[in-house]
Amino acid sequence: MRTVLCYGDSNTWGSIPMTHLEDRRRFGIGERWPGILRQQLGDDWHVVEEGLPGRTICRDDPVEGSDRNGLTYLLPCLHSHRPLDFVVLKLGTNDLKARFGASAAQIADGLHALVEIVNANSRLDGKPPRLLIVCPAPILDVGPLRAMFFGGSLKSRQFGALYGAVASQHDALFLDAGAVISSSSIDGIHLEKDAHAIIGGEVAKIVRGAC
């Protein structure tokens, strides 16, 4: 059996678009995109869901805590689930929070460290797992999270080209989610159920094609 790790934030965890700041609802296991991926890949694959709301690429969050830093947790996560045949990285939305003051280029640059960690951790055959970088869909300036992500909408629209360049530099596979889905008009950040289905299907095509 082969294993794929889905490493992401609340849109990998499956947060339902929020109607208020204390809204913590979650889509069911068969509704969020890693679950769709599991269904489409079939019994020959084990899909590991590693989604954490608030997870950043490489930033300690002074409000939500240092445990949201995706860089510091990635290595123990890889070790916990090895050997891995495939890794999907889908991060960057939370780095758009106004309190970080990071540009789109600075956020994308943080991906390099994650990619290097993945590539340094080999499978049983001595090769690193195949890597897919998924660029998050642009966020919208609406809903209860609007103030938290003030200024992020414009930055997020720059992600596609920047993430694509990182993937190309490291010979990683690439999916620009914004080309196939949109963020919810309810909170501008999270994905609706149909968007999860589309992303899960697109990732499944890429995984099957690469393996």
Which of 67-81, 89-103, 117-131 comes out lowest in average pLDDT? 117-131
36 — pLDDT class (breaks 50, 70, 90): very high
Residue 88: the pLDDT is: 98
Mean pLDDT over residues 193-211, rounded?
Answer: 96
Q: CA dist 187 to 12, 44, 101, 149, 154, Å?
A: 16, 36, 21, 11, 16
Q: In the structure encoding, which two tokens stand for residue 27, read together?
A: 């889509």
CATH code reported for the domain at 2-210: 3.40.50.1110
Mean pLDDT over residues 178-197, rounded?
Answer: 98
Asked if residue 57 lies in contact with residue 111, where contact means CB atoms within 8 angstroms, the answer is yes
Alpha helices in 15-110 (DSSP H): 33-41, 70-81, 104-109
CA atoms within 13 A on the CB side of 114: 31
- What gap in Å lies between CA 202 and CA 177, rounded to an integer? 9
Which residue has tokens 């993430």?
A: 163
Residue 124: the pLDDT is: 67
Query: In the chain, what percentage of residues exceed pLDDT 90?
Result: 94
Give residue-wise pLDDT tens across range 102-137: 999 999 999 999 999 999 986 667 789 999 999 999
Mean pLDDT over residues 203-211, rounded?
Answer: 94
Domain boundaries defined on the chain:
2-210
Q: Which residues pair with 88 in a beta bridge?
A: 6, 132
Residue 141: the pLDDT is: 97
* Strand pairing report for 173-176 and 130-135: parallel
Residue 98: the pLDDT is: 97
Mean pLDDT of the chain: 96
Q: CA dist 35 to 26, 40, 164, 169, Å?
A: 13, 9, 25, 30
Mean pLDDT over residues 164-189, rounded?
Answer: 98
- What gap in Å lies between CA 125 and CA 137, rounded to an integer? 34
Q: In the structure encoding, which two tokens stand for residue 107, read together?
A: 């956020």
Give buried/exposed letters for 166-183 (b at 16+ CB in 10 A, else e): bbeebebbbbbbbeebeb
